[in-house]
Amino acid sequence: MKELSILLATVFFFGVSFPLETRGAIPLDKINISTKGDQLAFDTTKLSAKINQPVQLTFKNTASKSSGLQHNWVLVKPGTADAVSTASLSVGADKGWLAESPNVIAHTKLLNSGESETVHFKSPSVAGEYPYFCSFPGHAQTMKGVLTVN
């Protein structure tokens, strides 16, 4: 009985406090990004977001079905793009070709051509230039861009 009341209190607390908290929050930064068709490139190489903001990012893999190209979108801490993309080379397809790393701030899963995914994350609390890239082996050299946070 005691456990039940604690459970109910917890459900009540989260159910009520979350909407209240998000209601006061600042508007979402909405970002749309896709591949440049069948090229190993994003259609946008420069993105921007405000510090500490909820961000909603939608990434679409617009490559043709026949290309068979798989892509993801990975945002990392400044100066760590090479390390994360290199570490991802040996990760394998079952882990989406993305190495687990504390330097990864946000990412989509590996998407097949025609697929898209929306991810939500909080933008960094420190202003700077945050690199993003596709971690599929061989793509990061050209499939990359910079998110400016200010």
Closer Cβ to Cu ion, 72 or 124, answer by number: 72
CB of 114 to Cu ion, least distance (A): 14
Closer Cβ to Cu ion, 88 or 123, answer by number: 88
Q: CA-to-CA distance for 149 and 128, rounded, in angstroms?
A: 5
Which residues lie near Cu ion (CB under 5 A)?
A: 71, 134, 136, 139, 143
CB of 99 to Cu ion, least distance (A): 15
Closer Cβ to Cu ion, 75 or 149, answer by number: 75
CB of 143 to Cu ion, least distance (A): 5
Closer Cβ to Cu ion, 29 or 89, answer by number: 89
Phi, psi of 21 (to 5 degrees): -65, -45
* Tokens coding 60: 């679409």
CB of 139 to Cu ion, least distance (A): 3
Beta carbons of 103 and 84 less than 8 angstroms apart: yes
| Burial (CB count <10 Å: 0-12, 13-18, 19+), residue 125 | exposed
Taking every pair of Cα atoms in the chain, the longest distance, rounded to a whole number of angstroms, is 60
